[in-house]
């Protein structure tokens, strides 16, 4: 693992403790009555459903679709809200039930249109009767039988397709990967899905908007179904409206935030040509300030006579102060506690001041055996440009490990800049004093360095990526004053993701990393600065930081270079449950360049994922395939989010 990745699961008991949070067990003053895992009922008596209203109207529904295509039948059946909600709490009254029945026609006809069927029919009966003949206060059986019959008829194809007023192509936009009506299937002879028509209308409007016409709209749409030929003729008329440049940018809804600064942080420049990508980037920049509970960039209703389009940033602020605390326990590392306090808007321009501390390794009653961290950090957004932040941090740390004890005081100041969407960089000046104590010697180091990094991120989603990649390069030239060594630390890490099916239920994910420390002997550089491999986030199955060079007593001392690689197959069994087999490999080396003549440590295992709105709850079990001294036979890791 690289030097900076120390936040990983350690030990089986920590995994078991975290796993217990994910288990639901109903208990009383006796044996357990029921057991659920990740919301799936396994055995015992289920908890009763919420009580229904005495006037509720339960129902039993049957949906039949006259097609031999099972997938098509499933898609049409799933469009029925009555069918989807059949096991939920019933409608509160007969009137509410009949209202839901009435809404079914539009849903099912819409589902037929979406599949290209324009000559179908939908028939619904309630208790054998036409629901339109049933009074809202009628008394119906409980449950009442609902029969839905869907006749698809022939599938239509597009006949004539005429698009008037389409935006002219622009060479400078040719490299943008954007959909077109043709790519969506709006071409003669293709299946006449209504989604292709509606999607094409959005695309046609967006084509004009990308060229600086914010008020483009669909002026007219004609869709004529010819039943004898089973074709659908489509005509679409697009009106561009006037071209526009940005007018005044204002902010409303601010309380503690400076409204002028809020508007400036959008990066929108009055007089610049309108581009919807600018608005997307502006919204993302406002979100990263962490000050607003919500933010919207609202365009004026019309372009002004002078060709300008005013923009108003409507925001709602969050509370500026926040604090938190947490704890952990591991049989190998002992207990740990941590906490932080943060002010997210110190002077009215989203300045963040944070204090944090933690105590770890509480496995005895002797405080000198504990590890400590205390630090403060400050971030000032909007230095020089809306995309540039000033960062500063000061912290002190004491880490007690088997091989040595490290005491560090560190100060850092730098700049972080987002060049464009997906590409960001950081550069800083760093000064740190380190004391390493072991049984034989006490060593002091003073290091000045200029760490810099550049990250390129094309993932489609940060929490659950299914395509794209990340690539991060780090370079840290340094000078160590105690021994007079000058050198550099370099790291390169990449991840990639590939969906194996159209619904992205099977995703192949890979990660590779390599690092090197050049210009300094191992015994003249702090052990805490070496590369360590092993554990969660590195090579799973091995003990934490246990892979690589060792000293004469057999304790791991880290290496001056390392390599790591991982591959996972992320398979969704249901919408909330996933299974992930994986294989990890890695090694740390005494030399400043990886020595591939040495064997790599290999770890294999399988993981369970429970998908939530905050990310996947991750439980991984792994075995080391070629374990070394101190490595377990089996290890469990628990965390939030995918492993990479």
Note the pLDDT tens digit of each residue in 99-150: 999 999 999 999 999 999 999 999 999 999 999 999 999 999 999 999 999 9
Residue 358 tokens, joined: 């933690």
pLDDT at 302: 96
Backbone angles phi, psi at 112, to 5 degrees: -65, -45
Q: Report the percentage of the chain scoring pLDDT > 70.
A: 90
- For residue 59, what is the enclosing H or E element? strand 59-65
Q: Output DSSP code: residue 531.
A: B
Which segments within 289-387 are labelled E, that is strand?
292-299, 308-317, 321-330, 334-343, 352-362, 371-381
What mean pLDDT do residues 14-41 have? 38
Distances (CA, A) of 428 to 2, 41, 278, 314: 19, 52, 28, 34
pLDDT at 638: 84
Cα separation, 520 vs 485, whole angstroms: 6
pLDDT classification of 44: cutoffs 50, 70, 90: low
What is the assigned CATH class of domain 245-317?
A: alpha beta
pLDDT of residue 8 exceeding 90, the answer is no
Cα separation, 422 vs 266, whole angstroms: 17
Between the two ends of the chain, the Cα-to-Cα distance in Å is 13
Residue 538 tokens, joined: 């590195």
Torsion of CA 188, 191, 195, 198, to 10 degrees: 20
pLDDT classification of 336: cutoffs 50, 70, 90: confident
Distances (CA, A) of 24 to 35, 45, 46, 423, 493: 6, 13, 11, 42, 38
Preceding peptide of 143 cis, ω within 30°: yes
Residue 446 tokens, joined: 């003073």
- Kindly give, in sequence order, each residue whose CB lies less than 8 Å from that of residue 279, ignoring residues fewer than 6 positions away: 268, 297, 311
Give just the sign of the alpha carbon dihedral 526, 336, 603, 509: negative
What is the assigned CATH class of domain 458-643?
A: mainly beta
List pLDDT tens digits, range 591-606: 999 999 999 999 999 9
Work out the number of other CB atoms within 10 angstroms of the CB of residue 578.
Answer: 22
Backbone angles phi, psi at 71, to 5 degrees: -65, -40
pLDDT at 331: 53
Among 48-57, 290-299, 460-469, the range scoring the smallest mean pLDDT is 48-57
Backbone angles phi, psi at 74, to 5 degrees: -65, -45
What mean pLDDT do residues 4-17 have? 36
User: Is the distance from CB of 285 to CB of 387 less than 8 angstroms?
Assistant: yes
Across the beta sheet with 157-164, the strand order is 157-164, 231-239, 217-226
What mean pLDDT do residues 262-286 have? 96
pLDDT classification of 38: cutoffs 50, 70, 90: very low
Cα 13 from chain centroid? Answer: 28
Half-sphere exposure at residue 288, Cβ-oriented, CA atoms within 13 angstroms: 20
Cα separation, 157 vs 193, whole angstroms: 8
Backbone angle region of 253, left / alpha / beta, with phi > 0 → left and psi within -120 to 50 → alpha: left
What is the assigned CATH class of domain 157-239?
A: alpha beta
Higher pLDDT, 20 or 331: 331
Residue with tokens 């396994």: 42
SS3 66: coil
Cα separation, 202 vs 589, whole angstroms: 55
pLDDT classification of 169: cutoffs 50, 70, 90: confident
Cα 262 from chain centroid? Answer: 26
pLDDT classification of 403: cutoffs 50, 70, 90: confident
CATH of domain 319-440: 2.40.160.50
pLDDT of residue 41 exceeding 70, the answer is no
User: Is the distance from CB of 2 to CB of 558 less than 8 angstroms?
Assistant: no
pLDDT classification of 256: cutoffs 50, 70, 90: very high
User: Is the distance from CB of 547 to CB of 564 less than 8 angstroms?
Assistant: no
CA gyration radius, the chain:
31
Half-sphere exposure at residue 218, Cβ-oriented, CA atoms within 13 angstroms: 15
Residue 316 tokens, joined: 């709602």
pLDDT at 50: 53
What mean pLDDT do residues 504-521 have? 97
- For residue 125, what is the enclosing H or E element? strand 121-126
Longest distance between any two alpha carbons in the chain, whole Å = 94
pLDDT classification of 369: cutoffs 50, 70, 90: confident
List the one residue out of 470, 476, 474 whose CA is nearest residue 491.
474
pLDDT at 37: 46
Predicted TM-score (pTM) of this structure: 0.77
pLDDT at 613: 81
DSSP-assigned letters across all residues of 446-475? EEEE--EEEEEE--S-SSS--EEEEEEEEE
pLDDT classification of 335: cutoffs 50, 70, 90: confident
pLDDT classification of 187: cutoffs 50, 70, 90: very high
pLDDT at 28: 34
pLDDT of residue 332 exceeding 90, the answer is no
Cα separation, 586 vs 600, whole angstroms: 5
Residue 200 tokens, joined: 């094409």
Cα separation, 589 vs 478, whole angstroms: 20
Cα separation, 357 vs 442, whole angstroms: 26
List the one residue out of 491, 620, 624, 510 whose CA is nearest residue 18.
620
What mean pLDDT do residues 609-626 have? 91
List the one residue out of 569, 333, 336, 430 whose CA is nearest residue 3.
430
Which neighbouring-strand residues pair with 620? 607, 637
Give just the sign of the alpha carbon dihedral 56, 60, 66, 72: positive
Rounded to the nearest integer, the mean pLDDT of the chain is 90
Half-sphere exposure at residue 281, Cβ-oriented, CA atoms within 13 angstroms: 18
């Amino acid at each position: 693992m690289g030097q900076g990745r120390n936040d990983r699961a350690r030990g089986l008991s920590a995994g078991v403790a975290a796993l217990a949070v994910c288990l639901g067990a109903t208990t009383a003053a006796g044996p357990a009555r029921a057991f659920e895992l990740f919301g799936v009922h396994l055995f015992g008596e289920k908890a009763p459903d919420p009580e229904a209203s005495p006037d509720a109207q339960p129902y039993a529904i049957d949906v039949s679709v006259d097609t031999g295509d099972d997938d098509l039948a499933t898609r049409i059946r799933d469009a029925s809200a009555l069918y989807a909600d059949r096991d939920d709490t019933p409608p509160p009254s007969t009137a509410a039930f009949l209202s839901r029945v009435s809404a079914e026609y539009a849903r099912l006809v819409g589902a037929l249109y979406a599949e290209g069927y324009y000559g179908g029919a939908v028939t619904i009966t309630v208790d054998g009767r036409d629901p339109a003949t049933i009074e809202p206060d009628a008394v119906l059986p409980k449950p009442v039988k609902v029969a839905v019959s869907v006749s698809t008829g022939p599938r239509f194809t597009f006949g004539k397709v005429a698009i008037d007023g389409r935006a002219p192509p622009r060479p400078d936009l040719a490299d943008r990967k954007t959909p077109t009506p043709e790519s969506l299937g709006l071409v003669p002879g293709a299946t006449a899905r209504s989604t292709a028509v509606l999607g094409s209308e959005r695309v046609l409007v967006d084509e004009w908007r990308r060229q600086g016409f914010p008020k483009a709209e669909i002026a007219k749409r004609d869709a004529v179904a010819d039943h004898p030929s089973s074709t659908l003729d489509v005509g679409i008329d697009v009106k561009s409206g006037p071209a526009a440049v940005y007018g005044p940018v204002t902010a409303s809804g601010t309380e503690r935030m400076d409204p002028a600064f809020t508007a400036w942080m959008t990066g929108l420049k009055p007089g610049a040509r309108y581009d919807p990508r600018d608005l997307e980037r502006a919204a993302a920049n406002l979100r990263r300030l962490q000050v607003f509970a919500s933010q919207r960039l609202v365009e004026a209703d019309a372009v002004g006579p002078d060709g300008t389009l005013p923009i108003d940033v409507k925001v709602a602020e969050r509370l500026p102060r926040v604090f938190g605390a947490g704890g952990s326990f591991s049989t190998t590392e002992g207990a740990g506690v941590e906490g932080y306090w943060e002010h997210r808007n110190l002077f009215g321009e989203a300045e963040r001041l944070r204090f944090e501390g933690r105590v770890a390794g509480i496995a005895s009653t002797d405080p000198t055996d504990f590890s400590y961290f205390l630090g403060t950090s400050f971030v000032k957004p909007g230095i020089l440009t809306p995309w540039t932040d000033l960062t500063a941090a000061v912290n002190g740390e004491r880490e007690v490990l088997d091989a040595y004890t490290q005491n560090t005081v560190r100060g850092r100041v730098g700049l972080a800049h987002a060049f464009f969407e997906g590409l960001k960089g950081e550069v800083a000046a760093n000064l740190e004093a380190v004391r390493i104590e072991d049984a034989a010697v006490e060593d002091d180091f003073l290091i000045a360095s200029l760490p810099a990094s550049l990250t390129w991120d094309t993932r489609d989603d940060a929490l659950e990526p299914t395509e794209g990649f990340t690539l991060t390069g780090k370079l840290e030239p340094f000078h160590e004053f105690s021994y007079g060594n000058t050198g550099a630390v370099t790291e390169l890490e990449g991840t990639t993701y590939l969906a194996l099916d159209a619904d992205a239920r099977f995703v192949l994910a890979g990660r590779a990393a390599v690092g090197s420390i050049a210009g300094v002997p191992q015994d003249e550089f702090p052990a805490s600065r070496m590369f360590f491999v092993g554990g969660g986030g590195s090579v799973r199955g091995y003990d934490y930081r246990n892979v690589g060079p060792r000293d004469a007593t057999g304790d791991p001392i880290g290496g001056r270079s390392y390599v790591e690689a991982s591959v996972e197959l992320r398979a969704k069994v249901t919408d909330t449950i996933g299974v992930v087999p994986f294989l990890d490999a890695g090694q740390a080396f005494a030399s400043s360049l990886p020595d591939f003549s040495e064997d790599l440590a290999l770890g294999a295992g399988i993981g369970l994922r429970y998908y939530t709105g905050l990310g996947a709850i991750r439980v991984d079990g792994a075995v080391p395939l070629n374990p070394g001294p101190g490595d377990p036979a089996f290890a469990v890791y628990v965390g939030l989010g995918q492993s990479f």
